[in-house]
A and B are shown apart, each in its own frame.
Chain A
Amino acid sequence: MLSMAFAHGDKGHKNIGTEAQKYVDQNKVYHKEGLSMTRKMHPNWMKHKRDMTLRQGVRTEEHSFKGCVNCHATKKDANSYHPINTNEQFCSECHKETGVTMDCFSCHRSTPGKSAYK
């Protein structure tokens, strides 16, 4: 996969998401593999984890796609979020520049659902 060779990510994200920002502000690290590994390997990890969840029933937070969306989506106002795949948001910041299409959100919900509003 070409995207593996070019680990686009020397520029930081402008918009890593409301919850993710809270993590960073508290100096906590969620992705223990490190940022550059995560950027490079996330397509492969996501493909593996989606099979683990769907085909094998493993449903930890690490395996959860809605977990990703819940953390990395940015709030528009108190009760709604920007869809995560729109232009200035988390995914598109890199995906638009690298020109890699994301197919996820034709099926997956692009804003956090009720689980984010607990």
Chain B
Amino acid sequence: MNRRDFIKNTAATTASVVTVANGVTLTTYASANDKPVTNEKRWGMLIDTNKLTEADIDGMVVACKEEHGWGNEPNSNEAQKGNWIRKVKVQDKATGRISALPLMCQHCEEPPCVDVCPTNASMKREDGIVLVDRHRCIGCRYCMMACPYDARSFVHETLTDQKEDMPRGKGCVESCTMCVHRVDKGEKPACLTSISSDAIVFGDLYDPSSEINKKLKEVQSRQIRADLNLNTGVRYSGF
């Protein structure tokens, strides 16, 4: 992405603000899809575990499975099946308080998985979404070793009947894509759409007028494993 393209893109796009049903404002750009994405936006999520019930989180997992088609590989055992998002229940050792949270790829700004990938298959898009370029993945699984959140899965068997928006196949590594195919159309990730409360906010972290940006300035939130300084795109509040 060089300066010339950046200026051309910024000048050429027009913005229209679309209000989605439950009060979240998304900025969509007309004809944005024919230009490469830029780093003027960074997609992120804020998850408030206080407002999420366990049933909500289970629903998120199901929604992700249905959107992308993972999780039902017939020959793989439980530890080998795809697992892009999971429900984790934790209890504070000191206070005894129990929280449940959804855990998926954190879309770090400094992703360890991208650092270690020998072929640049594990990559971070300009707008912050971390993806596996499965055209290049050789299936070495080093990124799976490196991920601090154990967010990645390996496809252990031949797959058929893939979802048309989510090609996936044997021998490559995969993980949560933050529903990049939906985000690029101006929609929200499938897991969010499955819950009816405003427990999860999704949007552009860099845009001062976005709801997520404003909320992150108001409420206390944290990254999981903040000590690693990865500057994750997914933030949590409530536990």
Contacts and interface: CB of A to CB of B under 8 A. Distances in A.
Contacts of A47: 135
A113 interface: yes
B156 interface: no
Nearest to A57: B37
Interface string A83-118: 000000000000000000000001111001111000
A59 B159 CA distance: 25
A84 to B, nearest CB: 12
Contact of B135 (A54, A109, A112): A54
Instruction: Please indicate which of the listed interface residues A51, A107, A108, A109 has the most CB atoms of chain B within 10 Å of its own CB.
Output: A107
Contacts of B161: 109
Contact of A57 (B33, B159, B169): B33
Interface in B160-209: 161-165, 167-172, 180-181, 184-185
A113 B164 contact: yes
A66 B164 contact: yes
A109 B162 contact: yes
B134 interface: yes
B158 interface: yes
Contacts, number: 64
A59 B167 contact: no
Contacts of B35: 58
Nearest to A60: B34
B125 interface: yes
A51 B121 CA distance: 11
A65 B167 CA distance: 10
Contact of A107 (B125, B169, B184, B185): B169
Contacts of A26: none
B131 interface: yes
Interface of A: 47, 50-52, 54-60, 65-66, 69, 106-109, 112-115
14 contacts: A52-B36, A54-B135, A55-B131, A56-B125, A58-B34, A59-B33, A59-B181, A66-B164, A106-B159, A106-B170, A107-B169, A109-B163, A109-B167, A114-B164
Interface of B: 33-37, 123, 125-127, 131, 133-135, 158-159, 161-165, 167-172, 180-181, 184-185
